[in-house]
Amino acid sequence: MFLIFGLRTSVKRSGVVAMVCPHCGNHAAQVITRRSTRFSVFFVPLIPIRTRYVRQCSFCGAEYGISKDEARSLPVG
């Protein structure tokens, strides 16, 4: 039997929120993205393995991993 499987990571932009960046200290837009890694068979993503949320400062580009609850509680617009 011939089987193609692998891992795929999809990046989805959840929204943008204006906050003070802990890195540069500027009140700038922070882009919230969701990165989910899934086990895929025949290029079809099936089983979610890991999901993480990342907040990136649009001013300095610093990235921070945030929790799911934190990502959901942000007033994303």
Stretch that binds Zn ion, among 15-23, 31-39, 41-49, 66-74 (CB under 5 A): 15-23
If we measure between CA atoms, which residue out of 71, 69, 77, 38 comes closest to residue 54? 71
Question: Toward Zn ion, which CB reaches closer, 26 or 67?
Answer: 26
CA dihedral (19, 22, 25, 30) positive or negative: negative
- Could you give the string, one character per residue 25-64, with x where binding to Zn ion holds by CB under 5 A and - elsewhere? --------------------------------x-xx-x--
| Sequence letter at residue 76 | V
Considering the complex, what minimum distance in angstroms separates the CB of residue 33 from Zn ion?
15
What is d(CA 72, CA 32) in angstroms, rounded to the nearest whole number? 10
Binding site for Zn ion (CB under 5 A): 21, 23-24, 57, 59-60, 62
